[in-house]
Amino acid sequence: MNTTLIKKYSGELVPFEVEKLEHSLFKSGASPELIAKITKEVRGCLFDGISTKEIYKRAYAILRKSSYALAGRYKLKKAIMELGPSGYPFEAFIAHLFQYQGYKVESGVKLEGKCVSHEVDVRAENDDEIHFMECKYHSNPGYKSDVKIALYVHSRVNDLIANYQPQFPNKKFKGWIVDNTNFTSDAIRFAECSGLKIMAWNYPDKGSLKDRIEISGLYPISCLITLTKAEKQSLLKEDIVLCQQLLDNEKALQLIDKRKHKKVLQECIELTLPLASQA
């Protein structure tokens, strides 16, 4: 049987693997019947060179007709890329993920190193650790942060640790790069060798950005189908980046068409509910 080659965002041609499509649909909460329906539709339109974007669009269209919550989870990667055009909403989103894990967090802070001061995207602290994080937001899904960025961040983190270690001798310090796309192989090798922590959409195998979002249930407002692009931007400008924030903050709803409040809240509830609760 001939294998269909599909084109990734990077332009690379790779064999189509129906298992990957089925897995992503399963992770969105789709039923076995719906997964079978979508895979049949996708198989029927395959041809050599078809883009992953086109496959996504076909699957997404069917999911959206079935359930906004399913479609919202399925578009998670795209939704993270919609936390722009500035990088600040992405930084705020990462801060929320670590706050969920019990860390005290600050975002967009200026901290003193031993030699110079540094703008730190996220500082996360608990009883045992202090983390300094550089967040890299990209609107191009094919972009990869390279080893030069890893070298630069590693140097900055070392300067910060040199200042803070004497003040907190009993705490462990970690430097991070958090990227919404990916890293080059050299950047990964350097990070693994130097002790720099890195996290991207699908990296590492356990504890990737995707994993952390799905485990926490902290979905960005950009997942919401009921909101317009303008409404999402209005919310992001007011530091509302999570669906959970809309559920917790009635004032945030004032930035949304009043006629849609009930639908938006219902979509937020369905999107943030654990999948087991919806079975």
Residue 233 lies in a domain: yes
Residue 10 lies in a domain: yes
Buried b / exposed e over 104-133, threshold 16 CB at 10 Å, is ebebeeebebeeeebebbbbbeeeeebbbb
Q: What is the total count of domains within the chain? A: 3
Residue 258 lies in a domain: yes
Residue 250 lies in a domain: yes
Cα separations (Å) of 42 from 37, 46, 51, 61, 202? Answer: 9, 6, 12, 11, 23
Domain that holds residue 62: 5-66
Residue 75 lies in a domain: no
Structure confidence at residue 53 (pLDDT): 92
Structure confidence at residue 9 (pLDDT): 84
Report how far residue 90's alpha carbon sits from residue 80's, in angstroms, rounded to the nearest whole number. Answer: 8
Structure confidence at residue 223 (pLDDT): 97
Structure confidence at residue 18 (pLDDT): 95
Please tell me whether residues 250 and 189 are part of one structural domain: no
Q: Tell me whether residue 66 is exposed, middle or buried, using C-beta atoms within 10 angstroms of its C-beta: 0 to 12, 13 to 18, 19 or more.
A: middle
In this structure, which amino acid lies at residue 115?
A: C
Q: Are 86 and 121 in contact (CB under 8 A)?
A: no
Structure confidence at residue 2 (pLDDT): 64
Tell me the CATH number at 193: 3.40.1350.10
Please tell me whether residues 142 and 55 are part of one structural domain: no
Please tell me whether residues 42 and 12 are part of one structural domain: yes
Residue 156 lies in a domain: yes
Report how far residue 101's alpha carbon sits from residue 12's, in angstroms, rounded to the nearest whole number. Answer: 36
Please tell me whether residues 130 and 210 are part of one structural domain: yes
Enter the DSSP assignment of 221.
G
Please tell me whether residues 137 and 48 are part of one structural domain: no
Structure confidence at residue 275 (pLDDT): 63
Please tell me whether residues 209 and 238 are part of one structural domain: no
Structure confidence at residue 250 (pLDDT): 85
- Domain end residue (candidates: 215, 238, 264): 215
Q: Tens place of pLDDT for every residue, the chain, 279 residues?
A: 568 999 988 889 999 999 999 999 999 999 999 999 999 999 999 999 999 999 999 999 999 999 999 999 999 999 999 998 888 999 999 999 999 999 999 999 999 999 999 999 999 999 999 999 999 999 988 899 999 999 999 999 999 999 999 999 999 999 999 999 999 999 999 999 999 999 999 999 999 999 999 999 999 999 999 999 999 999 999 999 999 999 998 888 999 999 999 999 999 999 988 764 454
Please tell me whether residues 195 and 228 are part of one structural domain: no
Structure confidence at residue 100 (pLDDT): 95
Please tell me whether residues 203 and 94 are part of one structural domain: yes
Q: Are 199 and 180 in contact (CB under 8 A)?
A: no
Report how far residue 85's alpha carbon sits from residue 64's, in angstroms, rounded to the nearest whole number. Answer: 25
Structure confidence at residue 52 (pLDDT): 94
Residue 240 lies in a domain: yes
Structure confidence at residue 279 (pLDDT): 43
Please tell me whether residues 173 and 119 are part of one structural domain: yes
Please tell me whether residues 97 and 39 are part of one structural domain: no
Please tell me whether residues 115 and 194 are part of one structural domain: yes
In this structure, which amino acid lies at residue 257?
A: D
Please tell me whether residues 207 and 234 are part of one structural domain: no
Report how far residue 135's alpha carbon sits from residue 92's, in angstroms, rounded to the nearest whole number. Answer: 10
Sign of the torsion formed by the C-alpha atoms of 95, 98, 104 and 109: negative
Residue 81 lies in a domain: no
